[in-house]
Amino acid sequence: MDPGRHTILLESQECPRNADVQEYRGMLYHAVYCGLELKQHPENISRNILTVTLSPTFLPGQKEVDPKRSFTVVSVEVELIAEIPDLQVRATAEQLFARIPELQRRNPTILGFGLIYIVIPVANQENIKHMVPWGPVDKAEIGPLGRLPVNPNWKNDMITCVRNGTPLGLLLKGK
């Protein structure tokens, strides 16, 4: 990633497929949970970020597009937030994390926010980038007795679910 580039949040007028992120939100949250190994290492929620690089499966201006199959996953990586070269991503993470002490005063079981950084390379243009926060995450959601199942094949399952247009597939496989 080029540190000189800046983050562009996907707005409905800029990208009519913003609903795609919403459609896959549950799967993305579960990928953060599994990828950051939050059940075993809850402290990773404030250190790591899940970076997902997507490739569009449609042509610009194409009218008939299945929203659930608009992208394929090029890569999924867990990275240290401090090592992300995009300064705006780090600033966004810091802004979210600055809210945690106040949230914890109201509810001491709050751990923080999981972060998903979506990158969509666009030929001859600036990459489209989008931050998706998950949270605030409560210890009850991810602890040893948490309700989320661990899926050791989360990465391959995520790639397959996006390719097949089955946004809940990853959640169902973990059960």
Quick: pLDDT tens for 89-98. Answer: 999 999 989 9
Q: Domain locations in the chain?
A: 18-173
For residue 102, what are its two tokens? 């106040």
CA gyration radius for the chain? 16
How many Cα atoms within 13 Å fall on the side-chain side of residue 89? 30
Nearest to 35 by CA among 130, 159, 119, 140: 159
Residue 144 has pLDDT above 90, yes or no: no
The β-bridge relationship of strands 110-120 and 48-56 is parallel
pTM for the predicted model, two decimal places: 0.78
- If residue 27 lies in a helix (H) or strand (E), which one and from where to where? helix 25-35
Residue 138 has pLDDT above 60, yes or no: yes
Determine phi and psi for 69, rounding to 5 degrees: -125, 30
Residue 127 has pLDDT above 90, yes or no: no
pLDDT of residue 18: 43
